[in-house]
Structure 1
């Protein structure tokens, strides 16, 4: 059952309320989110074309852990914590690169193969021997989906396709595999990941904040379908005459955003850096990345990035007020903000909020 299927009546005396303001700036809350949300879910990490050949790697951070994904000799992408088993040095540096047949630690030259197995403990001394599996690199779950690379810190559980659920089927006829990376726009922002999610999952603000979006789509028919059990949101509105072609828009809890078109895609995620801090990561892919299309593609990407900028401009102020302690909580609109409520209830459930009475449900 989805949240939007449940339609209780609301009276002014029975308002539904947001998460408390302190949840958006609390170190303790963020520590729980890291352990119970960010390590347990699949997180968007890279794209397949960035590591096409055996030995190619990309390095980054997931849930605060330094990790890297590496294409093996068998063509499979695997991921590991960026930690040498000897004395804890970081094994690879830079955002991306290529390693030889061995990943060689820059500290004491221990070497690991592309499958993560220990192959040498250089000049260790004594009669010690190290089992190559037992002393291999610490693995991280890794899977590719249609040209995108996802990681999960806590191993086991749902496969990536199971985690994506109906998104996998609904997006099946969009040509992601034929789309190629064009540009990215990443920015570090002083807002909490939940502040960003709250904003993304309602269009109550669209007519006030997004003139370009309103010119492209019929915002009066904008809908957000909350698929609570599968933890994703389907956002949709018909295009106006002269607007964009058909599109498919998803937000998969906690931080995956997929905006898919026949001719390109805007793929975004949020890397939580701490309470009240995120890195917003947005990649733009197009089917045609020829020089002749470069300017049109750039304009399309900048149009999309402008909408994000408009959102960030307002929610920076929201976050400052959440931090200040005057504002404590606010009412949730049953007409426009059922997506916000669904998102916040997913947070509550993931953190095992002991106050189930707060888990009210709004109608669309």
Structure 2
């Protein structure tokens, strides 16, 4: 080996192993991910326009857990598990609505204030006096709003939302999120593990093969992804071609928040992991101008974006099937094209460090 070859060998990083295939199909790994990642991180839940009035609420699930967020009489956002303290009934069905003064369980009509405190345990007679309202209040969760987006965190303790977003906050400061309004949503439940989808999002190695429309709009040769390890997010940059549709600011925040921000609108997406190898992908489209005159143009823009997601989903469905089949054990990542995938996988490994399932995220020597 000559001196030049030695220098090249020392400076060019070697390929690294992917996660083992078992990491994407093990329900034991998924349960640890729910405990160590999904419940401890902030999750995008809804947008503030849905909770504009006192008493308004949104009920949905976060990593399979039924959750309820409302705005109380004082205008404060409050979050609860959507479960009655009596016998675990769902307080409200999934969707949006408005309470008229109290939350009344549809099962046995226990009622709660908008602060979650038990008001009345019906049918208990004198025994109701022994029920401590403080001990039987609704189970609370953390809820915060950032620039018109509402996030929840299942765990009681953790960083404030702005601290969790980190450098995204100043980097996105001049994009007019508060002036943008909800236009449409795409929601798809697919047999794909959340990590498979995240890894696909964090490389454009596949773009020329899968996304001709995207390549016609963006200069893929100049596409870059910067890893911000300390804040666990990725800054994706794809400069617009002459005549391309758009140029904006793109973020992926671990574990699964996707922010595509433009001056005229936003494509904001998240993933809800449902089980090992199964997830729900949710994409909201916002525009500054949602007048009837702009409806066709806005829909065309949103559908263009949704088509790129569809192209990805068609591919990763096959990836997940092969991960489940058992022939493929693990692969290698390109240091040049898949450095962000490697960083994402390291974040997943770090989150499960010290658990029995951590071995599923390491390739055996």
Note the alpha carbon deviations across 1:56-87, whole angstroms, 9 max, x for none: 11111112211110111111111100111111
Alignment pair present for 1:155 and 2:156: yes
Match of 2:96 in 1: 96
Distance 2:319 2:200 in 1: 10
Match of 1:256 in 2: 257
Distance 1:207 1:73 in 2: 52
Q: Which runs of 5+ in 2 are unaligned?
A: 1-8
Contact 2:211 2:308 in 1 (8 A): yes
Distance 1:342 1:117 in 2: 43
Note the alpha carbon deviations across 1:138-192, whole angstroms, 9 max, x for none: 0011001111110111111100000000001100100000000000000011110
Distance 1:151 1:296 in 2: 32
Distance 1:92 1:68 in 2: 8
Match of 1:287 in 2: 288
Contact 1:251 1:258 in 2 (8 A): yes
Once the two structures are superposed, the pairs formed by residues 339-354 of structure 1 within 5 Å of their partners are: 339-352=340-353
SS in 1 for 2:175: coil
CA separation of 1:255/1:8 partners in 2, compared to 1, >3 Å: closer, same or farther?
Answer: farther
Note the alpha carbon deviations across 1:322-350, whole angstroms, 9 max, x for none: 00000111110001000100000000000
SS in 1 for 2:16: coil
Distance 2:311 2:172 in 1: 27
Contact 1:204 1:337 in 2 (8 A): yes
Alignment pair present for 1:202 and 2:203: yes
SS in 1 for 2:332: coil
Aligned-residue offset at 1:16? 0.5
Match of 1:362 in 2: none
Contact 1:246 1:262 in 2 (8 A): no
Alignment pair present for 1:26 and 2:26: yes
TM-score norm. by structure 1 comes to 0.93
Once the two structures are superposed, the pairs formed by residues 49-60 of structure 1 within 5 Å of their partners are: 49-60=49-60
Distance 1:358 1:10 in 2: 23
Contact 2:20 2:362 in 1 (8 A): no
Aligned-residue offset at 1:10? 4.7
Match of 2:298 in 1: 297
Quick check: 317-326 or 346-355, which moved more? 346-355
SS in 1 for 2:184: strand
Superposition misfits of 4+ residues, deviation over 4 angstroms: none
Once the two structures are superposed, the pairs formed by residues 202-221 of structure 1 within 5 Å of their partners are: 202-221=203-222
Contact 2:238 2:247 in 1 (8 A): no
Distance 2:314 2:127 in 1: 62
Distance 2:10 2:156 in 1: 39
Aligned-residue offset at 1:224? 0.3
Aligned-residue offset at 1:132? 2.5
Aligned-residue offset at 1:267? 0.4
